[in-house]
Amino acid sequence: MTKKEKVSFVIEKLDELYPEIPIPLDHKDPYTLLIAVLLSAQSTDVRVNQITPKLFKKADTPKQMVKLSVREIRDIIKPVGLSPMKSKGIHGLSQILINDYGGEVPKSFEALEALPSVGHKTASVVMSQAFGIPAFPVDTHIHRLMYRWGLSRGKNVNQTERDAKRLFPKNKWNDLHLQIIWYGREYCPARGWKIENDIISRTIGRKAIIKKQTKT
């Protein structure tokens, strides 16, 4: 199977499995999505979705958020981890949104990535999921699956993102990155992977990995 055929197979199977694509992080607008994605760094979506209702009950706009102290934010978000850094980032970016953007989240990679605690992946998620602008945020699931499927060398997430953007049609990026995440969680996890349940890896995966997995 050529790489082009592999890509077509992946798109076809994922569309078949996930015709409706839920967004993993609960939010109601670009600002609450930005905060949720920031909180998800080195945490889980499940844990973040447990904490954000408590935070957003107190503050779900930049103006409300800056009325809280960094310590108050930190106490609420502590269960998601890295709370000292994340609380400062949330307070700081909320103030910048008020000062520079009229309290709105900017529709620009450059502007988003200039905000405290907002990296390229967070900016990509917001651009994709809040504004519908094509992006391909790469998380651990996408990084793992792209390597297992032989679509990237797995050198780093930046390389995986470049490979994904090169291989997949731009008009599919926003759906595909979510579909791959859901597929990774359900059929191709890092641990407890059962190759017999994973039709995509079984069909197009790296032979050495499939052979090793079949033996275990």
CB atoms inside a 10 Å sphere around CB 209: 16
Task: Say how far apart CA 97 and CA 51 lie, in whole Å.
Answer: 22
Place of tokens 């793992």: 144
Encoding tokens for residue 57?
């009950």
Q: Which two tokens stand for residue 11?
A: 């798109």
Are residues 57 and 132 in contact, defined by beta-carbon separation less than 8 angstroms? no
Exposed / middle / buried, residue 140 (Cβ in 10 Å: 0-12, 13-18, 19+):
exposed
Distance CA 80, CA 90 (A): 14
Residues listed for the chain: 216
In a 13 Å sphere around the CA of 118, the CA atoms on its Cβ side amount to: 30
Are 32 and 56 a contacting pair, CB within 8 Å?
yes
The position carrying tokens 């850094």 is: 85
Distance of CA 206 to the CA centre of its chain: 24
Residues annotated as part of the active site? 121, 139
